[in-house]
């Protein structure tokens, strides 16, 4: 069994994990849904607490995108539960999504979440976005000291869904790009014939172009 970071475009490795919501089979139990699997270094740590509050506050947004959340750290189930209780009591936020208990680090090691340059006992802040077919679509890795931007993760899920549906690409900071606003990027023409069709579509106002290789449209 190979222990490495799953690559974008690969099937997420099959595994059975223990969580605060019972045993789950990955990615089978999330078939038909998008899944955001994210690791954090440890329970009862300040940066991780801010992240969990942020994920929970956006949980409805994720669910509207047919997306579930699944946390992970190298802690036992009772630690996760006690931490959740503390967050609810002290901060007024109830964590509703499950958290994987990985006290031996088996899951973290298998997914490449433990790095020699970071820590042998704490998982880095990794994020895997997995599509409804169980395929890894995006990966984020943050150092222990830097908290993640959960709004960016919401944007990524939404963007990936639009890319699949519309067969387009999306620009920097979409939907608030400096050049094309909320438009999507049309993939560059792959032939002279397609280039001419692209220019004709621009003349008709069906799309907008800076040049034939840089066209965009409203979605």
**Residues that are catalytic:** 48
Distance of CA 175 to the CA centre of its chain: 17
The DSSP code sequence of 15-76 is EEEEETTEEEEETGGGTTSEEEEEE-S-TT-HHHHHHHHHHHHTHHHHHHTTEEEEEEESS-
CA–CA gap between residue 12 and residue 37 (Å, rounded): 11
**N-term to C-term CA, the chain:** 43
The tokens of 53 are what? 């509050």
């Amino acid at each position: 069994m190979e222990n490495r970071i799953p690559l974008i475009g690969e099937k997420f490795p099959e595994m059975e994990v223990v969580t605060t919501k019972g045993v789950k089979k990955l990615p089978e139990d999330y078939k038909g849904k998008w899944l955001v699997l994210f690791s954090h270094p440890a329970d009862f740590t300040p940066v991780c607490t801010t992240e969990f509050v942020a994920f929970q506050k956006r949980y409805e947004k994720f669910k509207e995108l047919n997306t579930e959340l699944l946390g992970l750290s190298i802690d036992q189930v009772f630690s996760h539960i006690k931490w959740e209780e503390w967050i609810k009591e002290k901060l007024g936020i109830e964590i509703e999504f499950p958290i994987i208990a990985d006290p031996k680090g088996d899951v973290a090691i298998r997914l490449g979440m433990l790095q020699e340059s970071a820590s042998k006992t704490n998982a880095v802040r990794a994020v895997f976005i997995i599509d409804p077919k169980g395929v890894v679509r995006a990966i984020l890795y943050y150092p222990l000291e830097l908290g993640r931007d959960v709004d960016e993760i919401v944007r990524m899920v939404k963007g990936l869904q639009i890319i699949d549906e519309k067969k387009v690409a999306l620009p920097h900071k979409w939907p608030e790009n400096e050049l094309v606003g909320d438009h999507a990027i049309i993939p560059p023409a792959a032939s002279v014939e397609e280039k001419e069709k692209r220019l004709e579509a621009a003349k008709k106002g069906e799309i907008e172009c800076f040049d034939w290789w840089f066209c965009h449209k409203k979605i």
